[in-house]
Structure 1
Amino acid sequence: MQREDRAEMVGAVMNTLGPTTTRRKFLRRSLDVALLLAAAGALPACGKSDESPAGAKVGGTITMMNYPDWIGKDEIASFRAAFPGADVKQVSGLTSGAAQAITQIRQNLKSYDLTLAGGAAAGQIQAAGLAAKFDASQVPLLSGIPEFYRRSFPYGVPVDIGKVGFGYRKDLIDERPESWADLWQLAAAHPRKVTVLKYAEDVVSMALLRTGQSANADDEKSLAGAVDALLELKRNVRAFLPTDFSKDLITGDAVAAVSYDYDIASAQDKNPAIVWVAPAKVCRDTSTAGSLWRAARISPPCTRS
């Protein structure tokens, strides 16, 4: 790889962190938050859930950018039943990383009222002035969320937390990988049989941990090492997937898949030969944020928990 090419890639990786933010502050495996976007309006005459009867004074449609198929199948129907004059329109996005999400919001600023966003995206949306100020007093049930998460992610309503790791098919391989280094070796031993989720912050963090760095590292040397590790892995990867991370693992077209714990748990229901791995270094040192993602909705003040 030419020095100039690597320098350009390092620059691109560093740009995913945002010009004024650090990985420690805005890494996606911080909380997912629901943000109310600055250019949009909340439902008219929103009130606290404990101040008025269900459905009173609430009307209009919220347009929400969301991960594909993220919300439970009954959630929107329950909202409509509680607020007959209101509705939620969901638009898929958020599948490639913070930079892609922010670009999508900037280009369609008047199109969205609300977005689900990981910590990296949420922090950068806030720093870019694209999010409306969140009034926690309008969400009384927010007090049920542990203070640590509320303090760490003040942008909106924290809703999800999980881990980044990988799953493998114990019936298709003899290896029993336990670390990120093992995953790299597995990909080399089984070319085009490993898939990786396509989310910039998660992939960069994985590579940083693979090279022995903190997932919070933001210096050029550490990121250059991560780029080299990713280029090595890329030669053997089947695909970087924006959605359906474990589909090929379930069918056996892949022997391993880098994904999230909830996704692998769902895959295990379909194929019990799938084993989940939270790499040991990450489990021992969660301060690196290498295994954790947390999710929240950046939401209108009248959101009911």
Structure 2
Amino acid sequence: MTCQVIEDDVAFATVSGKTLTVGAGVDGPTFSDGYSITLSAPPTADVVVTLGCADPYVYVFPRQLVFSPDDWEPNLVAVNASLRNASDTRSRMATLTHSLSSEDAFFDGLAVSDVEIAVEFSADSVPPPKLELVRFLDGGNGVDVRFDSPTNMVDGAWDVDCATLFEYAEPAFGPGAACQWRNSSALRVTFTAGAALIPFDYTNATDLNSVWLKGGVLQTDLAGATLFAAAQYAEAQTPLHPVAPAISITAPESVGVCDGVVLDARGATGGGSRELTYNWGVLTNWDAETEADLTSVASLEAKLAAADAAGV
């Protein structure tokens, strides 16, 4: 017997921060920022990532990254900048691009998200916080949101209105979802019924995969900070140890031809604050021997399908 093993990994690369903030002063860079690039799976050949930026006063290190089949751990990128000239202290934006090349056809030429860089003339000594990771809880009923540095928690309170921090909070997390700080750099969101956020899927990516942080709300926890985190997003990652649904359906063991049937699945769990869906039908242990038998079974199946579609 010949067996063919098919690899089901999907090749893609992600960046940990979509928006960076770097400081520039009269005498040069004042503070830097950075992010990481991660491959989704081990490549079969070296993957070279070349970084580019049209602003000559934005400095990126390294300018080229190499992932190998034996070493494909996330790579870190550091960014800083200087003023174009000493008299021009206006804030400006720059874009950092990525291009991939490899003899591994799955990675060669893959598109990678750009990184936006805000260059600020500021007395701050560190950049404002940015989204580092969003991951679903194992039960699917919420997400943990992690920032790359301590924040001021908006106003220092442990509970915060989700809509204060996040765009699209109600459709993503459900009406009345709870947002609570675990510490100054980590937040937990607990969904309510109607949450639409779903884990990131590269091949079927949608806006429903991401958590969107509002700009101008969060700062570092350092006294005297003037800069705010920019508007940014992060894809929601799948849970590390997802809990499978536990199905419990109560139903009669037998039923008469003209009796109604009630199937009670209220004891089922594992939907992560979302409704579980069921597929059901009719199985018979006898062969329809007459046209009337066939018509009866077909009619019953049609009625069940109609009831299912109507949510009965």
Coarse TM-score class (shorter-chain normalised) = under 0.3
> Which structure would you say has the larger Rg?
2
TM-score normalised by length of structure 2: 0.22
- When you count helix as a share of all residues, which structure comes out higher? 1
Per chain length, whose mean CA-contact separation is higher, i.e. which structure has more relative contact order (CA < 8 Å, sep 6+)?
1
TM-score normalised over the length of structure 1: 0.22
